[in-house]
Amino acid sequence: MNRAASRSQSRDRQGAVTGLEPRLKPSRRGFLAVLGGAGLLRGQPKTFDVRAYGAVGDGKTLDTAAIQRALDEAAAAGGGARVLIPGGKRYRTGALKLKGGIDLHLADDAALEASTDPADYTAGRGLLLAEGAQGLRITGTGCIDGQAMQFMTGYSKTDERWEPKPFRPRMLALTACRDLEISGITILHAPEWTVHLLGCERVLVDGIKVRNHLDVPNCDGIDPDHCGELEIRNCDIVCADDAIVLKTSRQPIDYGPTANVTVRDCVVETRDSGLKIGTETFGDVYHVLFERCKVRSGGRGPTITHRQAGNIYDIEFRDIEIAAEHHAARWWGWGEAISLTVRPRASDGVVGKLSDVRIRRVSGRAENSVRIDGSKDNPVRNLLLEGVDVTIDRWTAYPGGMFDNRPTGPGVPGLEPHSTPAFSIRRAEHVTLKDCRARWGGQRQDYFSHALEAEDVKDLELTRFTGEAAHPDRDEAVVVR
């Protein structure tokens, strides 16, 4: 039985979810091993101090070989052996290959510093690499510094972003790992994705900090990709691109769906989406819960950007605070409070279904709409918005009056001129708005319009929806076309 088949035994077939009550039941199987780590093992795990293997830690000497020797001997010893990166020093390193059964521990203020020489990444395009590792832990209070500015060329004032060099490493690139824990550490200045988890299962990411530059492109925070039974909690993320984004990218190996994922109690700041599914959705994504999170600032609040053939269903966002604003045009996201969109990215592309989505108690302010937008032949189905309370206002000077449809297919404009209703729902079926409220801030723009604009929506139910148009003398509060 392949990996995808084994993981999908407990899944519901797409379309089987007909109600709007939560069906998310993330399995806790295997999490005890992650949470307990070496403490559950008999005896005291052996410590491998990288200094004993020749690591200097002066921020100049390349310590890759010394640290790798410590990692290899710890893995050979097994039993949760600890590889100690002592505090008070900066260890410059290229790519390191991690194996299972060890704890890479960054003690106190220890720092791993990414080498800026592409020749130091012959083991792979990432600083910390692992494949097929079971029982791997990356812990501590130290940091990993990606030195992003050393991988950039020039700065574009128009685009408000740095342009990258041809080579730039990811920070953590962990593939097909089991019983994985990443906790406590801080990751700084990633030149590309910060934490990429591909095909991993039974994963805990707890209490990490990400402090990336807000003008370096593609430096996502955490990217679970074809992952199952995963929890992300208590994380604090600052990055220019998507902060926490679930995906199922195109891969030569079938790693299965992304399923049984919980993201809770996280705070994020970004120029793109704060909490997101997509845009790479080649496989299924289901049984996902985002809860008690805060998008301190972002280009979009809760987001699902569906562009490929996978099916996305049984998704819930609840108890989310947002602040969504415009940025320079090259950054995706046009200040949408919430954004759920379905459309092909390629001209001949096939897009799967987006259904059974619940958005509960999302509140805050934004410069653009709560936006739900399916395709003519592929509407969003079975959608609940409950207790969504948003204030639409303007506080930046970027152009408004547009919807952001990016990414789009060839020849299709990414930005669509459109007025800004508080809630916009187009091309959807079986939609319920319950106890939702539209508000307007003090900087009402001429292009601000209805409290709710619904177009091509089948079976729309409004229960205690409140709000007036931004300009009541001109527009109706609720328009259904």
DSSP for 21-36?
S-------TTHHHHHH
In the DSSP assignment, the letter for residue 64 is H
User: CA–CA separation, 419 vs 210, rounded Å?
Assistant: 36
Q: If you average pLDDT over every residue of the chain, what do you get?
A: 92
Residue listed under structure tokens 């593939």: 175
User: CA–CA separation, 276 vs 267, rounded Å?
Assistant: 14
The sign of the CA dihedral 297, 301, 307, 311 is positive
pLDDT greater than 60 at residue 476: yes
List, for residues 235-274, the tens digit of each pLDDT value: 999 999 999 999 999 999 999 999 999 999 999 999 999 9
List, for residues 52-93, the tens digit of each pLDDT value: 999 999 999 999 999 999 999 999 999 999 999 999 999 999
CB neighbour list of residue 78: distance below 8 Å, 6 or more residues apart: 101, 102
pLDDT greater than 60 at residue 387: yes
pLDDT greater than 50 at residue 17: no
pLDDT greater than 70 at residue 228: yes
User: CA–CA separation, 250 vs 426, rounded Å?
Assistant: 29
User: CA–CA separation, 236 vs 227, rounded Å?
Assistant: 21
Band (pLDDT 50/70/90 cuts) for residue 381 is very high
List, for residues 450-473, the tens digit of each pLDDT value: 999 999 999 999 999 999 999 999
User: CA–CA separation, 4 vs 257, rounded Å?
Assistant: 7
CB neighbour list of residue 352: distance below 8 Å, 6 or more residues apart: 14, 281, 284, 306, 308, 309, 310, 311, 312
CB neighbour list of residue 397: distance below 8 Å, 6 or more residues apart: none
In the DSSP assignment, the letter for residue 65 is H
Radius of gyration of the chain (CA): 23
List, for residues 191-213, the tens digit of each pLDDT value: 999 999 999 999 999 999 999 99
Instruction: Give how far Cα 434 sits from Cα of 304, 385, 408, 448, 478, Å.
Output: 21, 6, 31, 23, 15
Band (pLDDT 50/70/90 cuts) for residue 312 is very high
Amino acid letter, residue 414: G
CB neighbour list of residue 76: distance below 8 Å, 6 or more residues apart: none
Residue listed under structure tokens 């001209």: 347
State the pTM of this model: 0.93
Q: Per-domain residue ranges for the chain?
A: 32-480
What confidence score (pLDDT) does residue 42 get?
A: 52
| Terminal alpha carbon distance of the chain | 49
Strands (E), 107-221: 111-114, 126-131, 137-140, 143-145, 152-156, 161-164, 170-175, 178-183, 186-188, 195-198, 201-206, 209-211
User: Beta partners for 155?
Assistant: 162
266 contacts 236 by C-beta, under 8 angstroms = yes
What confidence score (pLDDT) does residue 347 get?
A: 79
Dihedrals φ, ψ of 125, to 5°? -85, 60
171 contacts 195 by C-beta, under 8 angstroms = yes
203 contacts 233 by C-beta, under 8 angstroms = no
194 contacts 170 by C-beta, under 8 angstroms = yes
Q: Report the greatest alpha carbon distance in the chain.
A: 77
Among the listed ranges 12-21, 45-54, 59-68, which one has the minimum average pLDDT value? 12-21
CB neighbour list of residue 131: distance below 8 Å, 6 or more residues apart: 174, 175, 176, 177
Where does 32-480 sit in CATH, by number? 2.160.20.10
Provide the pairing of β-strand 368-373 with 423-434. parallel
- Residue 321 burial (CB count, 10 A): 17
> Helices (DSSP H) in 79-134: which residue ranges?
none
What tokens does 131 get? 């494949």
User: CA–CA separation, 8 vs 292, rounded Å?
Assistant: 28
Instruction: Give how far Cα 375 sits from Cα of 341, 372, 382, 428, 459, Å.
Output: 8, 10, 15, 8, 16
**Across 378-401, average pLDDT:** 97
pLDDT greater than 90 at residue 41: no
What tokens does 211 get? 């402090």
Per-position DSSP letters for 420-465, written without gaps between them: B-SEEEEEEEEEEEES-EEEE-SS--TTB--SEEEEEEEEEEEES-
* Helix, strand, coil percentages in the chain from 3-state DSSP, rounded to 5: 10, 45, 45
156: part of which helix (H) or strand (E)? strand 152-156
**Across 137-147, average pLDDT:** 98
